[in-house]
Every structure is written in C-alpha cells, then in structure tokens.
Amino acid sequence: MAETIELTIDGKKVSVQPGTTILQAAQQVGVEIPTLCYFEHITANGLCRLCVVETAGVRGLQAACVAQASPGAVVHTRSPAVDRARRTILEMLASTVDLSETPQVQALMADYGARPERFNGAQPRRPPLIDDNPVYIRDYGKCVLCWRCVQVCADDAQYAYAIDFGGRGFQTRIATAFDKPLTETTCVFCGQCVGVCPTGALKAKREYLLEQGVSPEEVFGLTRLQGKGKRSRRGPRPEVS
Amino acid sequence: MASSMTPDLSTLEPILERYGPQGRTRLIPALLEAQKIYGHLPETVVEAIGQALRVPLAEIYGVMEFYTMLYQEPTGRTMVRVCTSPPCAQKGGRAALQAICEHLGVAPGETTADGAYTVEEVPCLGLCDHAPAALVGETPVAQVDPGDPACWIEAPQETPLGLVGGSHRWLTARCGVIEPTDVEAYQSHGGFAGLRRALLEMEPAQVVEEVTASGLVGRGGAAFPTGLKWKFTAAAQAAARYVVCNGDESEPGTFKDRVLMEGDPLAVLEGMTIAGYAIGADKGYIYIRGEYPRAQRIIAQAIEQAREAGFLGRGILGTDFNFEVEVRSGVGAYICGEETALFESIEGKRGYPRLKPPYPTTHGLFGKPTSINNVETLCAATWILAHGAQAYRQAGTEDSPGAKMFCLSGDVAHPGVYEVPFGTRLGDLIEMAGGVAGELQAVLLGGAAGAFAGRDQLDVPLSFEGLKDAGLPLGSGVVMVFNQERDLRRTLLSLAEFFAHESCGKCFPCQLGTRRQLEIVEKVAAGEVAEVELEALRDVQYTMTNASICGLGMTAGSAIGSALERWPDIFRNGR
Ligand SMILES: Cc1cc2nc3c(=O)[nH]c(=O)nc-3n(C[C@H](O)[C@H](O)[C@H](O)COP(=O)(O)O)c2cc1C
Ligand code: SF4
Ligand code: SF4
Ligand code: FES
Ligand code: FES
C-alpha cells in the first residue's frame, strides 16, 4: 500500500492516494473546480484548461483534471491568476462557439464576469448544421472541441472509428473520413457520442425535430434507421469495388 | 492526373507490402510515397493504405488534414514554396511570391492549368541566410529574384551551404571543408574519435558522466541538461529504448541544424550513436522537417556510408554494440518539433503534444524510454567525447559552458551561422556578421517564440545567465536584426500569423488565443486598435503563456508581448 499524500487546497488539508488528481482531491473536501472537457469515464486530455489552479512555487497554472496531487502542495483554486485565465478562456470560447445550449458555461461566464464582446469582430466558428442520417444531427457551430465524441467512438468505448478530426488550430473540426455522410462511414449509430456531448452540438434527431416544431407522428417516420449504411464492422471498412 | 480518374493501385503494391507489416508507424512514409506516385492522395489510394497498415480511414483523414505537405487535391509536378517570414520578407520575399504568381497566372495555393506548378506561400524554410529563399521541388534556391521568376523556377540553382563563421569553429569545423558524407575525410578531420573513445575506453555510465561534466544543455530551446536526460533514460526500466534526433528546425529564423545536417552529417550520426551507447538503445530515429529535402538526402547517404564502414549496424568497432538509424520526414507542422508531438508523428498520428508528465525519458517514442536531442546538442556531445569535458569548459562562462551556434539573419551585412563562446556580447556577434545594414531598430532573439531586444541591449552577454538577467530568451539561437526602415507592425503580424497557422488546436488557450491574438494584431497593423483590445491582447497572451499544454502556446505571445511592453507606441500609432 503506497503512502498517502497530504496537500492543502484552498486552506483545507486533504490526504489522498498517489495518482489522485487535484480535481478529485478537491472534490473530497468539497472544493468545486469548474470543468468542461473532463468526463469521468473518458480519457482526460486536459484540453479546455477551465479547471486550472495555482500551486505555490510552481510556474504557470495546472489543469486540475489531469495534474496529480503532490506531497505538500499548496493549491489555490481561485486566485487572480486563475480567474484571469478562466475568464479569458470563457471569453474566447464565447466569441467563437454558440453556447446557447451549454448552460453550465453560461453560468461560469456570469460568475467570472466574462465579457466576450471585448473581442470585437472576432471570427466565430459557424459551419452549417449536418443532417445526414436518421439518428442524430451534428451542429458543429456549437462544438467546443472537447473530444469526447471522438473518444467514445474510438478506443474509449465503441471501436467504430467513424469520426476523428479535420483541420488544425482554430480550424480544427470533428470530421468523418473525407467529410462523408455518417451513413457512408463505419458509424454504428450507437448514439454514445450524442450521450456524452456537453453542448448540444450532437443531438438526437427526434429531439431536434421536435424542437423545430415537427409533429411527433412525423418525427417517428423521419427517424427510423432503415438498415442502409448501418455497419457493425470494427476498424477500417472493407474495400468495396 | 485528374481526380476523377481511378488511380492504378498496382504501383502502390510494393510499398504496401513493405510497410504493411510495420503498421501505423509507417503511415506518413506510406502517404508520402503514394503522393510521389499520384501527385496527391486520392481516396482509393488512402483506403488501400488504411487496409494494409490497419489504420481507420477517419484517422488517416485526420492525419492528412493536419499536415500541410499532404495533399488531397492534385498538385503541380513542381511545388514552388516561397518564404515570406520576416528575414525573407525584408529582402523581397513577398515581391518574389507576387512575381511568380503573376508569371504563372495563379494565386498562392493554386496550380497552373497545365499541372506544371503549384505555388505556395510558406513560413521560414530555414534558408534565412539566403533570403529571400524558395524551395523549388526539392531544390533550395537562394536570393530569388522578383524581377526574373521564370529563371528560378525553370532552372533552379541549388544554394550552397551558406556562410559559416565565428571565433570557435568547434561543431562547424568540417562544415564546408570536407565532402559531407565521405567517411575517410571525416575521420582524417577528427571524426569518429568520440565514438571510438566512448565504445572502446568507456562504460556507458562514464559517457553519461562525461557529458554531465561538460555542462552541456540542450540546444533545442528548453536548455535541459543533456547528461541528466541521458541518465534518466538509461535508468528507466524497459525492454527497448530509443534515441531521437530532433531535426525539425521550424522555428522562424533558425537554420543552424540544417548547416550541421548538410555540412557534417556524420557528426550527427556519431552523436546519436554515442547517445545510443550511453543510454542502452540500439535504434535511433532522426526526424527532419519536410522542407529540408537536401538534408534528408545527405543524412540518408551518410547513414549508408557509415554503415558500409562499420560505424552503424551490428558490432560497431568490433564491440557487441549495435545501432541503427532511420530517417523520418516531417510533413509541414512546426508543432512536430515539440518532442512529444514529434513522437506522435513518427507513430503515424496527428502531431498533438502529449500531457507531461510522464516525460519522454520514461514514456517516449512508442511509449518507451527515449532520449530526444536537438541536432546541435548531439554534435556537441560528439565533440565533447572527442575532446573531453574539460576542453569544452575552456570556452564560455561558468554557468554556460562551451560554444553556441547563432543564426544571424535580417539586416546584417553577412547573414549566416556563427559559432561563438557563450558570454559573447550581442553587439560583438552582430559586428562579426559585418554589423547592421542600416541603423539598428530591434533584434528578435530566439525566433518567433523569442523576444525583442532594443538598441540599448547590445551589451547583453549571450549566456543563459546574462540573457535571463536581461529578461531575454536564448531559444534556438536566433538573432534576427531589424533596421530603422522596417515596419515592426508588419513583423508582428507575420509572427501572429505564424502561430495561428501552427497551433495544433489541442488546448483551448492556444487554439483560440492564437486566433484572437492575430485578429488584434491585424488591427494593430492597420493602425486601428482600441485600448481595450490591447488589454484583451494582454489577457490572451497571459492565458496562453500560463495555461497552454505545450511550449508553442506558452511562447506564442512572447515576442509580440515583449514588443508591446517595450514599444507600446508602435501598437497605437506605428512609431
Ligand atoms: C513548438 C515547439 C517546437 C520545437 N521545435 C524544435 C525543433 O525544431 N528542434 C529541436 O531540437 N527542438 C525543438 N523543440 C524543443 C523540443 O521539444 C525538445 O525540447 C528538444 O528537442 C530536446 O532536445 P535538447 O534537449 O537537445 O534541446 C520545440 C519545442 C516546441 C514547444
Ligand atoms: S461534438 Fe460535442 S462531444 Fe464532440 S467534440 Fe464537439 S462538443 Fe465535444
Ligand atoms: S499549446 Fe498550442 S500547440 Fe501546444 S497543445 Fe496547446 S494548442 Fe497545441
Ligand atoms: S476540465 Fe480540465 S482541462 Fe478541461
Ligand atoms: S527561410 Fe525565409 S525567413 Fe527563414
């Protein structure tokens, strides 16, 4: 049994097992740290950096969801440095992405006094909504690039590898191979990606149609998966000639 | 050529047979070879590669979308890449780009109707000593003439190695002096003395000690002690270990590693072999940026020659030490100079930096302990093993021992690589290069990821401690000089464009911040920035510096931020 690690978070003493993240340690003593990309059962990649904290004597800020608790660390989860970074990330995000269906980020913005309008004339990401299959729609104008969908589609759950990334940098997007309709990919329509998406970018088609005012009867007709394009093969798709 | 035609897959067969069994790590080499055959990457070809290497199609597409040198659409038979980074822009790079586009009747990024040429505007090609520079097909071309574009695309003249100078020609002693891949000449000029001494007279741990005693620190930018890195890698428990030589050299203004790889490739290989012996690795990779086809060619030749002469392969120098080196090409991504992104690239993936810890010394390439070193670092190790740690400490300062290669570009009389002891005054180094052409305005130290020094800082000693006191970075040794004629706002815009183009997009601070920074600097360049926007810019830079995953984001605001602090008036009214 490895020795426990003692640290201080916002003045509260915590002892945890080695390998525990700062986020988990904070939860133990009831200190809440905001998160966005982090999701318990999915590989954490430390992408959004909204969970950053300040540790005395350590340069820069650490992402609490991936940084491990270290012995004797004195961690501050709210400080001018932390707030400045979180606020700026929220502002940059809100000036890029449609967050209308991400209430927890809106709440954070109010909390941190975020003013995205400071980025006057900032380029948003607003690709057209993709409605290419009967099961779910993809509205990437709402996508924050948390990577959850890609990971559940691949090694974290489904091993279907239907979606990955396109572009890079600010132009990064979630994409199928050659940007094909999902029905022409290895997608098995398990719906796991929809389940983990935190922003409403991926949405069950039924829900979407009902929101659009389509009648429940019609919705039923429009969302039956007719077998076509449904593939259950794992990995690369076979050569079709 | 047309994409509607079904490509003939039979030419691809032998490549797939060769690469298939090795799987995903061969993805980028396979894509590059396919691209050579088909001129781009048609879907059916990509599918066949995916089948053979067992890589999901969506992930291959992700790789193709990440790297700028992988093409989904047909390109011209000759790629014409014209550099417009600051040192080239100063000397007419933009005019050259415009001239070639007008001559061919295309816009940057387009292909001529006859399929002969595709013209691209690219960031620094590592030929800044030859500014304005271009890469025509696989030929590096110097001083391209905007007045006569036909000449340099139709009959491109290969540039010479470039000017190499300085008071301490240690690592550069053979550059431009011997035939680079001639093992005999190399040996008669002191080559392989270090490897002999290491293999025949020393235990691996002693080699590590020797390097530690020399005080050598990494030359790739992070200045990590090389001996310590080797020690950690050697100590890690594992069945396999790797040596990786980082020859990605994509930092604008840096070209010293090119000079070493092209001018003294056997010293690079010798350094890798010494490292392999020291840490207990029998395999090394050298990752060379895709824009350095000549360096790739010369290194590949040197590997053949060294193997033939028994300096690589099995039982080197009659010992039971085996070592092999494999060349890997970059594909147009500055981020792949970051060590963990580089590993991902060798593994056949998008160049996303990994979270650290764990560090490469325990979890590196293929998850195995890896010592990754810069080209210059490895050449210095070669020198140290040949001459001894004490000799190395004869130059430099107590805290910054040895000599360093600096890349002088921009408004100096004689741009080139200068090798001088640490502690040399910045002003003296510039004098060595013939002095400033015109009246000095600013010096960008450390490259795009560096910081600006002013006229008042010519007395700064170029040592780690001296620069630190002055609040300046050493970075990879870039000294980019700007005279009073230069519009610094144009330079700042170019730097902002570079980072926005090169951010991998993994973490939010840099993915979003490099874009927001660019937008604000665009306004600065147009002379219409509001005070609140400069405040926002400071917040963006603060956030990138402190909350990003990797060094790219951490330094993306550094040069622009240093200018904002030093010359706020430039941001408001251009002066
Ligand atoms: C964005 C980025 C680009 C980098 N590019 C290079 C490069 O081109 N060459 C290099 O040697 N190191 C580069 N580095 C530094 C490497 O990550 C690493 O520190 C270095 O290769 C280690 O070798 P050294 O200890 O010999 O310096 C880069 C780092 C970052 C963050
Ligand atoms: S679509 Fe949803 S789950 Fe996928 S990356 Fe975007 S926000 Fe995350
Ligand atoms: S700092 Fe930039 S380059 Fe580095 S991981 Fe983050 S987005 Fe990618
Ligand atoms: S929640 Fe930690 S980085 Fe996103
Ligand atoms: S080659 Fe043009 S700036 Fe380096």
The domain total for chain A is: 2
**The pLDDT value given to residue A241:** 32
**Cα–Cα distances in angstroms (integers) from residue B513 to residues A170, B57, B71, B341, B507, in the given order:** 9, 31, 27, 20, 10
Say if the Cβ atoms of A145 and B511 lie within 8 Å.
yes
Say if the Cβ atoms of B535 and A118 lie within 8 Å.
yes
A10 and A118 together in one domain: yes
Ligand 5 centroid to Cα of residue B513, in Å, is: 25
Q: Which two tokens stand for residue B397?
A: 């300062």
**The pLDDT value given to residue A3:** 86
Single-letter code of the amino acid located at B192: F
Is the minimum distance from the CB of A93 to ligand 2 under 6 angstroms?
no
Which of B47, B355, B519 is nearest residue A46 as measured by Cβ atoms? B355
Question: B238-272 in b/e burial notation, b at 16+ Cβ within 10 A?
Answer: beebbbbbbbbbbbbbbbbbbbbbbbbbbbbbbbb
Q: Which two tokens stand for residue A49?
A: 């950096």
Single-letter code of the amino acid located at A179: D
Say if the Cβ atoms of A236 and B536 lie within 8 Å.
no
Helix extents (H) in B215-292: 226-235, 256-263, 265-279
- Chain B residue with CA closest to A125: the answer is B512
- Asked if A146 reaches chain B (Cβ–Cβ under 8 Å), the answer is no
Task: Kindly calculate the radius of gyration of chain A based on its CA atoms and give it in whole angstroms.
Answer: 21
pLDDT, one tens digit per residue, over B128-180 is: 999 999 999 999 999 999 999 999 999 999 999 999 999 999 999 999 999 99
Say if the Cβ atoms of A45 and B355 lie within 8 Å.
yes
Say if the Cβ atoms of B56 and A154 lie within 8 Å.
yes
Question: Using an 8 Å Cβ cutoff, are B307 and B300 in contact?
Answer: no
**DSSP secondary structure, A114-138, as one string:** --GGGSTTPPP--PPPB--SSSEEE
Specify the ligand 5 atom closest to the Cα of B254. Answer: 4
Which of B515, B538, B548, B554 should one mutate to test binding to chain A, selecting the residue with the greatest count of A CBs within 10 A? B515
- Smallest CA-to-CA distance from B481 within B566, B411, B406 is with B411
Query: From the CB of residue A91, how many other CB atoms can be counted at a distance below 10 Å?
Result: 26
How far apart, in whole angstroms, are the C-alpha atoms of residue B337 and residue B220?
A: 9
Would you give the DSSP letter of residue B393? H
Say if the Cβ atoms of A121 and B519 lie within 8 Å.
yes
Residue B67: CB partners within 8 Å, gap ≥ 6? B28, B331, B332, B333, B351
3-state secondary structure of B108: coil
Question: B71-100 in b/e burial notation, b at 16+ Cβ within 10 A?
Answer: beebbbebbbbbbbbbbbbbbbbbbbbbbb
Residue spans of the domains in chain B: they are 9-66, 78-154, 174-393, 403-483, 488-573
Say if the Cβ atoms of B511 and A165 lie within 8 Å.
no
Say if the Cβ atoms of A45 and B506 lie within 8 Å.
yes
A73 and A146 together in one domain: no
A120 and A145 together in one domain: no
- Chain B residue with CA closest to A151: the answer is B59
Chain B: closest CA distance from residue A119 (Å): 7
Q: What is the ipTM of this complex?
A: 0.95
- Smallest CA-to-CA distance from B412 within B83, B91, B161 is with B91
CATH of the domain at A4: 3.10.20.740
A142 and A119 together in one domain: no
Single-letter code of the amino acid located at A55: T
**The pLDDT value given to residue B6:** 81
Is the minimum distance from the CB of B421 to ligand 3 under 6 angstroms?
no
How far apart, in whole angstroms, are the C-alpha atoms of residue A170 and residue A151?
A: 20
A13 and A38 together in one domain: yes
B516 interaction partners in chain A (CB closer than 8 Å): 92, 95, 119, 122
**The pLDDT value given to residue A2:** 66
Strand partners, B118: B79, B111
Task: Kindly calculate the radius of gyration of chain B based on its CA atoms and give it in whole angstroms.
Answer: 23
Would you give the DSSP letter of residue B268? H
Is the minimum distance from the CB of A105 to ligand 4 under 6 angstroms?
no
Which of A120, A161, A165, A239 should one mutate to test binding to chain B, selecting the residue with the greatest count of B CBs within 10 A? A165
Per residue of chain B (575 residues), give pLDDT as tens.
Answer: 444 568 899 999 999 999 999 999 999 999 999 999 999 999 999 999 999 999 999 999 999 999 999 999 999 999 999 999 999 999 999 999 999 999 999 999 999 999 999 999 999 999 999 999 999 999 999 999 999 999 999 999 999 999 999 999 999 999 999 999 999 999 999 999 999 999 999 999 999 999 999 999 999 999 999 999 999 999 999 999 999 999 999 999 999 999 999 999 999 999 999 999 999 999 999 999 999 999 999 999 999 999 999 999 999 999 999 999 999 999 999 999 999 999 999 999 999 999 999 999 999 999 999 999 999 999 999 999 999 999 999 999 999 999 999 999 999 999 999 999 999 999 999 999 999 999 999 999 999 999 999 999 999 999 999 999 999 999 999 999 999 999 999 999 999 999 999 999 999 999 999 999 999 999 999 999 999 999 999 999 999 999 999 999 999 999 999 999 999 999 987 65
A57 and A113 together in one domain: yes
Domain end position, chosen among A124, A155, A177 = A124
Q: Whose CA is nearest to atom 3 of ligand 4?
A: A46
Residues in chain A with pLDDT values less than 70: 1-2, 225-241
Query: From the CB of residue B103, how many other CB atoms can be counted at a distance below 10 Å?
Result: 16
Fold of B403-483: Ubiquitin-like (UB roll) (3.10.20)
Question: Using an 8 Å Cβ cutoff, are B55 and B29 in contact?
Answer: no
**The pLDDT value given to residue B179:** 97
Say if the Cβ atoms of B536 and A119 lie within 8 Å.
yes
Question: Using an 8 Å Cβ cutoff, are B419 and B168 in contact?
Answer: yes
> Phi/psi of residue B479, each to 5°?
-130, 95
Residue B241: CB partners within 8 Å, gap ≥ 6? B233, B234, B279, B280, B281, B368, B369, B370, B371
Is the minimum distance from the CB of A61 to ligand 4 under 6 angstroms?
no
How far apart, in whole angstroms, are the C-alpha atoms of residue B111 and residue B118?
A: 4
How far apart, in whole angstroms, are the C-alpha atoms of residue B283 and residue B298?
A: 19
Q: Give kind and range of the element (H or E) at residue B539.
A: helix B531-547
Is the minimum distance from the CB of B372 to ligand 1 under 6 angstroms?
yes
Say if the Cβ atoms of A186 and B56 lie within 8 Å.
yes
Query: From the CB of residue B169, how many other CB atoms can be counted at a distance below 10 Å?
Result: 16
How far apart, in whole angstroms, are the C-alpha atoms of residue B259 and residue A51?
A: 44
Is residue A238 in a domain? no
**The pLDDT value given to residue B575:** 58
How far apart, in whole angstroms, are the C-alpha atoms of residue B169 and residue B379?
A: 12
Specify the ligand 5 atom closest to the Cα of B124. Answer: 4
B515 interaction partners in chain A (CB closer than 8 Å): 96, 122-123, 169-170
Say if the Cβ atoms of B509 and A122 lie within 8 Å.
no
Q: Count each helix (H run) and each strand (E run) in chain B, helices first.
A: 25, 14
Q: Which two tokens stand for residue B575?
A: 């002066």
Single-letter code of the amino acid located at B86: P
How far apart, in whole angstroms, are the C-alpha atoms of residue A109 and residue B527?
A: 31
Compute the 3-state secondary structure of chain B and give helix, strand, coil in percent, each to the nearest 5: 45, 15, 40
**The pLDDT value given to residue B1:** 42
pLDDT, one tens digit per residue, over B207-218 is: 999 999 999 999
Strand order in the sheet with B134-136: B117-122, B78-83, B134-136, B139-141
Question: Using an 8 Å Cβ cutoff, are B468 and A133 in contact?
Answer: no
B558-566 vs B531-547: helix crossing angle, rounded to 10: 140
Question: Using an 8 Å Cβ cutoff, are B256 and B476 in contact?
Answer: yes
A7 and A108 together in one domain: yes
Question: Using an 8 Å Cβ cutoff, are B261 and B405 in contact?
Answer: no
Domain end position, chosen among A124, A145, A178 = A124
Ligand 5 probe mutation, B82, B84, B85, B251, most atoms within 8 A of CB:
B85
Single-letter code of the amino acid located at B430: I
Chain A: closest CA distance from residue B481 (Å): 29
Query: From the CB of residue B327, how many other CB atoms can be counted at a distance below 10 Å?
Result: 18
Ligand 1 centroid to Cα of residue A110, in Å, is: 40
Question: Using an 8 Å Cβ cutoff, are B83 and B123 in contact?
Answer: yes
Structural domain boundaries enclosing A17: 1-124
- Smallest CA-to-CA distance from B86 within B479, B410, B520 is with B410
B50 interaction partners in chain A (CB closer than 8 Å): 236
The CATH-assigned architecture of domain B78-154 is: 3-Layer(aba) Sandwich (3.40)
Chain A: closest CA distance from residue B538 (Å): 10
A111 and A173 together in one domain: no
- Chain B residue with CA closest to A48: the answer is B508
Helix extents (H) in chain A: 22-28, 80-94, 103-112, 148-153, 192-196, 205-211, 216-222
CATH number of B174-393: 3.40.50.11540
Question: Using an 8 Å Cβ cutoff, are B488 and B524 in contact?
Answer: no
A145 interaction partners in chain B (CB closer than 8 Å): 505, 508, 511
Is the minimum distance from the CB of B506 to ligand 3 under 6 angstroms?
yes
**The pLDDT value given to residue A34:** 98
* CATH class of this structure's domain B488-573: mainly alpha
- Chain A residue with CA closest to B513: the answer is A92
**The pLDDT value given to residue A224:** 76
A188 and A222 together in one domain: yes
Which of B504, B532, B533 is nearest residue A168 as measured by Cβ atoms? B504
Query: From the CB of residue B36, how many other CB atoms can be counted at a distance below 10 Å?
Result: 10
Is the minimum distance from the CB of A204 to ligand 4 under 6 angstroms?
no
- Smallest CA-to-CA distance from B379 within B262, B471, B493, B458 is with B262
**The pLDDT value given to residue B446:** 95
Is residue A36 in a domain? yes
How far apart, in whole angstroms, are the C-alpha atoms of residue B435 and residue B431?
A: 4
Is residue A20 in a domain? yes
**Cα–Cα distances in angstroms (integers) from residue B449 to residues B90, B177, B452, B454, B495, in the given order:** 19, 33, 10, 17, 9
Burial classification of residue A229, based on how many CB atoms lie within 10 Å of its CB (0-12 exposed, 13-18 middle, 19 or more buried): middle
Domain end position, chosen among A101, A124, A147 = A124
- Own/partner pairs for A237-240, CB < 8 Å, 24+ apart? A237/A185, A237/A186, A237/B47, A237/B57, A238/B51, A239/B47, A239/B48, A239/B51
CA angle B54, B64, B360 (to 5 degrees): 75
A9 and A49 together in one domain: yes
Q: Which two tokens stand for residue A232?
A: 């259950």
Is the minimum distance from the CB of A153 to ligand 4 under 6 angstroms?
no
A9 and A75 together in one domain: yes
Specify the ligand 4 atom closest to the Cα of A34. Answer: 1
Is residue A240 in a domain? no
